[in-house]
Structure 1
Amino acid sequence: MSFVDLTQKDRLILLGILVVLSVGIYLFELYKNNNLSSKKVVVNGTKIEIKFGDIFKEKGQKLIAFNEFFDTQVDDKIISSGSLNGKFIKKYCNYDKKTLDEMISHSDSLKKIDVNNRIHGGKSVRYALGSLCKIDDYFIMAFSHFDAKNRAYLSVSDYIICLLSMWNELDCYYDGEKIILPLLGSGITRFNDAEISDQELLNYILFTLQVSRINFKSGIKIVIGEDLKKGINLFEIGE
């Protein structure tokens, strides 16, 4: 057996190569983990896939958040044409506005709270947050309060209570298909008692499912818009 007698210089070169390789591998793994395009976790036995994409391109029962009045007037004042519910009403709903309004007003699953005559327009009947109405393969849900200037807002406690109610409602009314959720609360909602990041919103969604103890055997997919990638680190989910 022969041995190579390394000089001090050779040892330093070899050590330098090993350090460079180690740092390179570490940086590659760090980049890969911080730029995941999807992540799978299990909560209460429910298989959950979290991914970036377009919720309207997914197969399953998709949930779309509305305000507490279930407004359907897409005029960029009450409802933005670029929002998910604006896109749903204008492009993906199989019914015209009048028919959709009738389906909402006659829904047995929605919980009416009171009537509020709003000075800036919109509907007057207010519904409980978290209550939902099934429209074909969509669930539309009362998600946010609306102030006098038709701006959506929530408190953190409202948000958590709404999510817990949502899980119970979905458990009652979904028919075994996979449930597709957006990142609820991102972009349009003003939290009046705290600053909530998109990462925290995602954590709240998973946390409330865990607290609910409900198991959706068909699975859940959370689809986050591509424009929100910078605020989400999927590697941290479940770690």
Structure 2
Amino acid sequence: MIDFFVKSGTWAISITTLVFTFVPEKYFEKNIILNRILTLLCVFIIIVIFYGLFLICRRSITIKGHNYKIKVEYGDIFKMDNCKKVINFDECYTISVGDAPGDIKPTSVCGQYLKMHPNLDVEKIIKKSKIKAENERSQYLGKKKYESGKLVPNGDDLLMAFAKLDADGIGKFFSHKEFLDCLSLLWEEIDKYYGQKDVCIPILGSGLTRINETLLTQQELLDIIIGSYKLSSHKIKSPYKLHIVCKKNDDFSLNQIGKSI
């Protein structure tokens, strides 16, 4: 909130300075000082109203650097056009959707994807991509598991190995380091597969990532993802960009990006 008023005040001063520079003093009548103060106050109020409406109504924000562009936006990843979509599975690429501990939850990004592709033959896709399973088996039923961050291309969809599983098939917590290692591999994989298209990802790690035994919020995860991408040597080349797509009712705000960590 303080930042909001500071920015509004800075813009108000800049605008009124321009007004005072180009408008003759005679237009401020006799009490020049008072009228100038009132002018500044009116401009400030107008800016506060319009800037506030802008922050409330905006649905995206673009973050640019000299070699990257990230667009964080409210929306549905499945409705994004002309882009490759990262769909996060678990480490075993489980495809059963349901309410059992080892099932993919129907409301998750992966669950929605599997309902849209009921005949998905994930084993065939993995075999075609020639990615190798890790030597160590998953704790869940001794299944083959894949490194978190690995991608398997399926047309314009990039199926991502992500959540590590415990013996009951429930996603285990990531440490901060494990999460960063996963993101680092993900950027490398995206660099390999984006094929001159934008790439869309959801906010990863919700309910799974901890720092010092504290679960991270969506806002904190978003900032970590953005920070990791900025530091990575593997980036999507311009004019293409990375989209981070999220639902508006998630526990974060576009206006708080960069402030949580």
Q: How big is the shift at 1:222?
A: 1.4
Which segments of 5 or more consecutive residues in structure 2 lack a partner in the other structure?
1-24
Match of 2:91 in 1: 68
Match of 1:130 in 2: 149
Query: Is contact 1:69-1:125 (8 Å) kept?
Result: yes
Deviations 1:140-199 (A, max 9, x none): 11112122333222111111110000011111223221111111123x425373332222
Selected match of 2:54 from 9, 32, 39: 32
Give the Å deviation of 1:28.
3.7
Question: Which of 158, 163, 170 is equivalent to 1:144?
Answer: 163
Contact 2:209 2:216 in 1 (8 A): no
Amino acid at match of 2:190: L
Q: Which residue of 2 aligns with 1:79?
A: 104
**Distance in 1 between the 2:225 and 2:112 partners?**
23
Unpaired runs of 5+ in structure 1? none
> For the structure 1 residues 236 and 112, does the alpha-carbon distance in structure 2 shift closer, same or farther, using more than 3 Å as the test?
closer
Q: 1:189 aligns with which of 190, 205, 208?
A: 208
Alignment of 1:206-217 (within 5 A): 206-217=226-237
Q: Secondary structure at the match of 2:203?
A: coil
Q: Which amino acid aligns with 2:217?
A: S
TM-score w.r.t. length of structure 2: 0.74
Give the conservation status (yes or no) of the 8 Å contact 2:126–2:152.
yes
Contact kept? 2:87, 2:158, Cα under 8 Å: yes
Identity percentage over the alignment?
24
1:201 to 201, 216, 221: 221
Structural RMSD (CA): 3.1
Q: CA deviation at 1:5?
A: 4.9
- Is contact 2:179-2:209 (8 Å) kept? no
Q: CA deviation at 1:209?
A: 1.5
Aligned position for 1:157? 177
* Aligned with residue 247 of structure 2, among 209, 220, 225: 225
Change (3 A) 1:219 1:14: closer
Say which structure, 1 or 2, has more relative contact order (CA 8 Å, 6+ apart).
1
Letter in 1 for 2:107: G
Deviation by residue 1:55-88 (Cα, 9 ceiling, x = unmatched): 0011211001111111111012221111100111
- Partner-residue secondary structure (3-state), 1:206: helix
| Contact in 2 for aligned 1:38/1:51 (Cα 8 Å) | yes
Q: Which amino acid aligns with 1:197?
A: T
Name whichever of 207-216 and 136-145 sits farther off: 207-216
Aligned to 2:98, what secondary structure does the other structure show? coil
Partner residue of 2:135 out of 113, 118, 124: 113
Corresponding residue pairs, total:
227
Query: Cα offset for 1:236?
Result: 3.9
Residue by residue, what CA displacement relative to the aligned partner does 1:108-140 show, whole Å, maximum 9, x if unpaired? 134423224635xxx711111111101111001
